[in-house]
Chain A
Amino acid sequence: MDSLSRRRFLRISAATIGATAAAGGLAGHLAGRGTGEAAAPSGLQKIPTFCDICFWKCGAIAYVQDGRLWKIEGNPDDPLSRGRLCPRGTGGVGAHVDEDRLKAPLIRRRQRGEDVWAQVTWDEALSHIAGKMQAIKARYGPEAVALFSHGLGGTFLKHTLKAYGSPNIAAPSFAQCRGPRDVGFHLTFGEEVGSPERTDIRNSRCLVLIGSHLGENMHNTQVQEFAEAVGNGARVIVVDPRFSVAASKAAHYLPIKPGTDLALVLAWMHVLVTEGLYDKDYVAQHGFGFEAFAAELAPYTPEWAYPETGIDPAVIRETAREMARCRPATLVHPGRHATWYGDDTQRARAIALLNALLGSWGRKGGFYTPVSMDIPGYPYPPYPKSEKGKVDNPGARYPFALETITTGIREATITGKPYPIKGWMTYATNLMTALPNEPETITAIQALDLLVVVDVIPTEMAGWADVVLPESTYLERYDDLNPELFREPFVALRQPVVPSPHDQKPNWWIARELAKKLGLESYYPWKTIEEYLDYRLTKAGLSFAELKQKGIIHGPKQPVFFDEGVAPVFPTASGKIEFYSTTLGDRGFDPVPTFTRPAEPPAGMFRLLFGRAPVHSFGRTQSNPLLNEMMDENEVWLNADVAARLGLTDGGYVRLTNQDGVVSNRVKLKATQRIRPDCVYMVHGFGHTAVRLRRTVGRGASDAQLITRYTTDPLMGGTGMNVNFVAVEAEA
């Protein structure tokens, strides 16, 4: 076995980073192409697939010139991208040529987290993992291995884990992102918002964005429709402590005090109800508990909301009336990343209720009912039943959680209760920066017998692993089919456009080979991935050959709005829109949302807010050379007047220290008028400490590192992360 460089993978101790000496056997694996390729084809090929830089799955067409990837454009036939990719998808070429990518399987040779690795064969790596998993199963049961997976590529790994017998499969996108929003809407309408969001932005005549920064948050269809709506003269209302790009397009910009959005929504609803501006017919026809709800709203006048939010009562009234004027084509956007303050489910429910008052659910310009094509699954043997059940939410202490709670698994790993978790596998998620309070994640990891990380790049999480498995990028692999849940039914195919440059493998291969080593071949009856895909498509009456050639096959159009024939069904306790939720009341929660005032920042400190840049996805694109060139570091936004008072200069470097004494990496200061004086803002995903991400290590600062406090939502276990405060000082 060859040893890789001795340079530290990440800074765990204060030891300095030494120079490296690549061992002799490295040269062959670092240089050169993958094994067993045919000669490169000549001429220009255009191969359809769909993108994986974020999770929107936009249809794309890769242009390959003489066997080399030239550029990627949108697939004009794709309803999500409509022929145009976002900057990250356009920059997908960089993911393929990224020199910092993982290249071969690695097994750690020393203490977990130290940077000494052995490069091994796939057979050795998978045998090692299978051996450990069988040992854990024998001693603790198969439930003791958990899978954290994000994205479509996790499908086959989930299949293997379920076949192995573990029910503990989670995505951080629930408890650390969309969860509160989906639960809040589920409690109100009986259905989640979903992804892609079921928002009919392009037909909205009034669009309300609460913290949502479309245009910087670059979910393709959302931004395209946002521009369409703006172009059609839609009235945009933006509520944000920061003057975002969306705010610059708004007819009304409300510079709200962070943490007080719920108060504003309550006051808006108060205006609509007391002035009789809500959709009375819609509410009468579809609503339950309206009178009780209206009574609860009585104290929430605009005058009450003013000192809480900082928004002038006249503005609250004016904007409420604007929303009413444009209804039912008024869309109060549910947002996406909703884990802010710990009362986020109730805030999302309030937004749902506001939409319900405006009658936008199920109506054009509001929310449509998503549809999809029916593609039968592959027939597998049934999965083993688990006696113990899931570990993340014992006793259903978070009674309304709709999905597995990642931080619940983490907690069980640390405490060993309700039962021990001894193995983690992660797919395409960097838990070190996705989960709040990094020290807790490290504590959990130290309790594990096995940590397997499957990823494309050597992230901080990979640095803590026992085994690192390099996956091919989306451009180099097949994946499961995507029969998207959207405005119109279609199915999309992801297929390789170029070969993997080194020893990377696709997720389906990894999952299947691991299953074989675990004695679970019966769960993988298909011999090739093409056989699997062909089977499912044929069962749906579709042609695999046609899908390979076109990338997308459309299904027959279906109605998506009530007035197109969709039945107004609300799978709630009352069967109607729950203005007053007895489900919540019975459990001791507020049946109608109430407002909790957020804590004030300690003296001299600012609330830490974070968000997105259009050229990056979370922390997974900073090493992509094209996207890194677009933005190679983040900045901390601080109000210009405050900066002047503190003697800090725009463009100078500062450090942030949070309330628990954690000090950030040096980060550039953006002294700007575009933010309130009481908070600071950073784009998430920078400040990497994984030294093998050579292009980006040490650039910018990590917001995740500073998020050591979080507030757990009692309804569904979401982790509110906007509850940290920082002081800003010039770097020494």
Chain B
Amino acid sequence: MTPELFITRHNDLIDPFVHVWSWQIPIYLFLGGWVAGMMIITGYFMLGGRHTRRSPLLSALPGVGLVLLSLGMLALFLDLEHKRYVWRLYTTLQWTSPMSWGSWILLLVYPVLVLTWMVRPPVILEDLSQTIERVSRALQANRRIVRVIGIASMIIGAALGVYTGVLLSSLGARPLWNSGALGVLFLASGVSAAAAFAHLVTRSPDERALTVRIDNVVLASELGILTLFLLGLLAGSAPQVEAAGLFLGGPYTAPFWVFVVGLGIVVPLFIQILAARHLIQHTPIAPIMVMAGGLALRWVIVSAGQFSHWAHGAMRMH
């Protein structure tokens, strides 16, 4: 029999259900994942020696990354309730806190992005500064260093892409997030957003073809990861089964299946497969849907996750 549970607590942001993170966090997660994906793609390109010739993506992506990451970090800063003390993040490394790890990773991302940008900077920058031109020529000539930068970009990028999922999954009090799949899911989503963006903006048909194939592989993997995510919850404890139910008939069912899965993955994947096989023209609609889907994924996961909880029964707040 369902108990009648009545509690007298009424705390802002906590009752009737936790809603401490609103738009700032999903925006940051999306931008961070996107930047992570771009770092992985540029690193991959550098390992493949693409820096030795003109590459619209190598010239553009790191610069875009610097801007987007700054916007993302601004969103994070806006979310803080005790902003004057933000510098405290950098007085310590709390081993058990993914957020602490993340704050240091974010710090490392900047120099890595600058370095990758210096490998094949856009012509405008080279014209602006002799130093940049000299540095880029030197880097381009040294395959070994570029390899190291590429690996660093991929590793730091992967860390950036994964840690946010790890952060959420470490908050066991929110059963929806309590899945090992979350980190991999966010990484894949970040890479697919970056690949979609790359495929959208590059003028090089060769790069376009490559990135659309990367995107399709990653999108298909995302479907697989989402399946494992749901199956894992359904096989878990009661609060986790209840959390999975949010997407399987519960209040978040429509946003999840329509915006995240349908319009965010399946439909653009289908379009992009046709485009990759030259059955239709490349169209900007698909990558835009992929990116919107990435934002929707973060939004739905953050919102639904805070709604999921451990207490059972009919709950009514004072």
Contact = CB atoms under 8 A, between A and B. Distances in A.
B259 to A, nearest CB: 30
Interface string B220-252: 000000000000000000000000000000000
Nearest to A630: B8
Interface in A532-571: none
A673 interface: yes
B3 to A, nearest CB: 10
Contacts of A403: none
Contacts of B318: 631
A613 to B, nearest CB: 11
B312 interface: no
A674 B6 CA distance: 13
B315 to A, nearest CB: 11
A25 interface: no
A650 B316 contact: yes
A614 to B, nearest CB: 11
Contacts of B316: 650-651
B81 interface: no
Nearest to B317: A651
Interface string A663-707: 000000000111000000000000000000000000000000000
A650 B314 CA distance: 10
A629 to B, nearest CB: 9
A673 B4 contact: yes
B264 to A, nearest CB: 35
Given A650-B316, A651-B316, A672 B4 contact: yes
- Interface size, B (range): under 10
Contacts of A631: 8, 318
Contacts of A673: 4
B57 to A, nearest CB: 55
A636 to B, nearest CB: 15
A673 B8 CA distance: 19
Interface residues of A, number: 7
A673 B316 CA distance: 15
Nearest to B3: A673
A504 B8 CA distance: 34
Contacts of B8: 630-631
B37 to A, nearest CB: 45
Interface in A486-508: none
B5 to A, nearest CB: 11
A673 B6 CA distance: 13
Contacts of A674: 4
Nearest to B1: A673
B1 to A, nearest CB: 9
A603 B318 CA distance: 32
Contacts of A651: 316
A197 B281 CA distance: 91
Nearest to B10: A629
Interface in B1-57: 4, 8
Contacts of A672: 4
B67 to A, nearest CB: 46
B65 to A, nearest CB: 48
A472 B215 CA distance: 75
A522 B314 CA distance: 67
A601 B318 CA distance: 31
A59 to B, nearest CB: 28
A652 to B, nearest CB: 11
Contacts of B314: 650
Interface string B306-318: 0000000010101
A395 to B, nearest CB: 51
Interface in B145-183: none
Interface string A631-657: 100000000000000000011000000
Interface string B268-285: 000000000000000000
B7 to A, nearest CB: 13
Contacts of B4: 672-674
A673 B318 CA distance: 18
A630 B318 CA distance: 9
Contacts of A650: 314, 316
A650 B313 CA distance: 14
Interface string B55-88: 0000000000000000000000000000000000
A673 B314 CA distance: 13
A674 B3 CA distance: 12
A478 B283 CA distance: 85
A215 to B, nearest CB: 15
B267 to A, nearest CB: 39
A412 B55 CA distance: 102
A696 to B, nearest CB: 15
A630 B4 CA distance: 20
A452 to B, nearest CB: 38
A157 B191 CA distance: 82
A331 to B, nearest CB: 30
A160 B314 CA distance: 57
B43 to A, nearest CB: 54
A720 B4 CA distance: 33
Nearest to B4: A672
Nearest to B316: A651
A672 B314 CA distance: 11
Nearest to B318: A631
A651 B318 CA distance: 10
A695 to B, nearest CB: 16
A542 B46 CA distance: 96
A672 B316 CA distance: 12
Nearest to A615: B8
A673 B1 CA distance: 12
Nearest to B8: A630
9 contacts: A630-B8, A631-B8, A631-B318, A650-B314, A650-B316, A651-B316, A672-B4, A673-B4, A674-B4
Given A650-B316, A673-B4, 7 more contacts: A630-B8, A631-B8, A631-B318, A650-B314, A651-B316, A672-B4, A674-B4
Q: Which 6 A-B pairs have the closest CB atoms?
A: A651-B316, A672-B4, A673-B4, A650-B316, A630-B8, A631-B318
